[in-house]
Amino acid sequence: MVIVSIILIIIAIYLAAGFVFAVAFIVKGVTKIDEGAHGATWGFRLIIIPGTIVFWPFLLNKWIRASKTKEE
């Protein structure tokens, strides 16, 4: 019971962080990692929010790498 509670709390924190990330990502990050997103609609940006909340560390990594290659 305690273990399950702890796991649930960790998942909740992870998803909350994902939510914060998702806001920044759909406004700015998504166009950095994918040129297909440049002319993309707001509908598209909204529809990728749930996935972004779950897979955010992966997208963050892509975003960091994309901005590094630009600086070079």
34 binds other proteins (CB under 8 A): yes
Pure H helices in 25-55: 30-33, 42-47, 49-54
Tokens of residue 61, six digits: 């990594």
Shortest Å distance, C-beta 71 to other proteins = 22
- Work out which of 19, 54, 65, 67 binds other proteins, going by CB under 8 A: 54
Buried b (16+ CB within 10 A) or exposed e, 46-67: eebeeebbeebeebbeebeeee
40 binds other proteins (CB under 8 A): yes
Amino acid at 65: R
44 binds other proteins (CB under 8 A): yes
> What does the binding site for other proteins look like in residue numbers (CB under 8 A)?
1, 4-5, 8, 33-34, 36-41, 43-44, 46-48, 50-51, 54-55, 58-59, 62
